[in-house]
């Protein structure tokens, strides 16, 4: 199985505003780093090479990032053990806190490309029901069901 993840964030200012320049100016390098990372499979992007022009959330200041990874470990290595970590530490400069979860993960079949509708359904499920096999957090993932099944038979 592969791991899909959605993270959302409410910008403190429009993406082209000087207050968010430190974020916007580093989108391409961070996306390139992700794509070059072991275990990276896919990321959502529009014609501009990222997903910042997409606004699927009711709040127009919310931007999305939807990716697929070979494993939870591969995603965690990128997020917490690469140059991405420097930008993660600075997120409060560019994003305002939200009252609901902003990150969700779930297992998908290899080759499946998750949709934003699917991703938001998972995020809503996490918000309403807490972590489960259907929708969980990156820091505390549920086991890959194909691995878990192979250990119970």
CB 136 within 8 A of CB 90: no
CATH number for the domain harbouring residue 36: 3.30.70.100
Range of the domain at 139: 2-152
**Number of domains within the chain:** 1
Those residues with Cβ within 8 angstroms of residue 71's Cβ, 6 or more apart along the chain or in another chain: 2, 3, 39, 144
Judge whether residue 149 has pLDDT over 80.
no
Those residues with Cβ within 8 angstroms of residue 59's Cβ, 6 or more apart along the chain or in another chain: 10
Give the pTM. 0.90
Average pLDDT, the chain: 91
């Amino acid at each position: 199985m592969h791991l899909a993840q959605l993270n959302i964030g409410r910008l403190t200012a429009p993406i082209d505003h000087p207050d968010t320049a430190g974020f916007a100016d580093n989108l391409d390098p961070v996306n390139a780093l992700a794509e070059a990372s072991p275990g990276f499979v896919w990321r959502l992007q529009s014609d501009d090479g990222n997903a910042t022009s997409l606004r699927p959330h009711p709040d127009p200041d919310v931007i999305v990032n939807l990716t697929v990874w070979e494993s939870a470990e591969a995603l965690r290595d990128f997020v917490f053990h690469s140059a991405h970590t420097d930008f993660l530490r600075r997120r409060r400069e560019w994003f305002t806190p939200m009252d609901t979860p902003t990150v969700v993960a779930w297992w998908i079949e290899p080759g499946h490309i998750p949709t934003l509708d699917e991703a938001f359904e998972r995020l809503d499920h996490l918000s309403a029901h807490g972590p489960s096999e259907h929708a969980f957090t990156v820091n505390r993932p549920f086991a890959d069901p194909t691995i878990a099944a192979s250990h119970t038979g």
